[in-house]
Amino acid sequence: MHPTTTSRDGGRTRRGRRVALVLGGFAVSGVGLLVAANLVVVTASADDLTRETDDLEPAQAVIVPGAGVYADGSLGRPVRERVDAAIDLYDAGLVEKILLSGDNGDESYNEPDAMRRAVLAAGVAPEDVFTDYAGFDTWHTMRRAADVFGVETAVVVTQGVYAARTVRLGQGAGIDAQGYVVSEGGRRAREWLARVTGLYEAQRRPAVTPGDPIPITGDGRASWSEQPG
């Protein structure tokens, strides 16, 4: 074999090893960030989560983060569990108002109104039911609950997988938030990644879609997109 060919092959091998080491370093750093962010979020919220209503302090409102609804307006299982829990907390006198926050990104899809119909059908007083149509994600829901609706104290209802991040975001938005776990369902792998973003949002408090003030102490019907016929 020609000496020049051997030298070139050796150089490529060394460069390949350096690239592999750099990529390996990035991978280790990424895993470390993922683990650290999850530990911070879960640890910070641990004392503010419960599965028992007896552990909850009375609050201004229960915040219901939206989730999938069907084309006919019926609720998917996760959001149905949250709505049912919110009604129970209201009926028990633990919260004064219900804030239903979800996605209404286009006319064909409306989480808040689907939730509102279910809550009103359960007999909740209309003036105690608020809707937020710009709850595009959990941070939007919490930041707007504080900034638009003036919520100071709240119980947040969600599944156990999401509870730590949801409460941490509520607290990052300036709300004295407690988490009420409605079930153990949820997408765990996705939530590991979402907690990294959530930690950033809670610390940096990025801007969200603004809105005119609708005080949670007022009449919830002022927040509705339309009045029921």
Residue 6 lies in a domain: no
> What's the pTM value of the predicted model, to 2 decimals?
0.80
Domain range for 102 is 46-223
Residue 115 lies in a domain: yes
Cβ proximity of 144 and 61 under 8 Å: no
The edge-to-edge listing of strands for the beta sheet with 59-65 is: 49-50, 176-181, 153-158, 59-65, 95-101, 129-132
186 by Cβ neighbours in 10 Å (0-12 / 13-18 / 19+) ranks as middle
In Å, how far are 34, 103, 155, 168, 171 from 60, measured between CA atoms? 34, 23, 8, 18, 15
Residue 20 lies in a domain: no
Residue 87 lies in a domain: yes
Residue 10 lies in a domain: no
Q: Give the pLDDT of the chain (229 residues) as one tens digit per residue.
A: 555 555 455 555 655 455 444 334 434 455 566 676 666 667 777 788 899 999 999 999 999 998 888 888 889 989 999 999 999 999 999 999 999 998 887 777 889 999 999 999 999 999 999 999 999 999 999 999 999 999 999 999 999 888 888 999 999 999 999 999 998 876 667 776 777 777 778 777 888 989 999 999 999 999 998 755 4
Residue 109 lies in a domain: yes
Residue 3 lies in a domain: no
Residue 4 lies in a domain: no
**Which residues make beta-bridge pairs with 131?**
100
Token code pair at residue 167: 């409460």
Tell me what pLDDT residue 41 has.
63
Token code pair at residue 191: 């939530």
User: CB-based contacts of 212: which residues, under 8 Å, 6+ apart?
Assistant: 148
Q: How many CB atoms are located within 10 Å of the residue 45 CB?
A: 21
CATH number at residue 145: 3.40.50
pLDDT digits (tens, 9 = 90+) for 64-81: 998 888 888 889 989 999
For the chain, what is the domain count?
Answer: 1
Tell me what pLDDT residue 44 has.
73
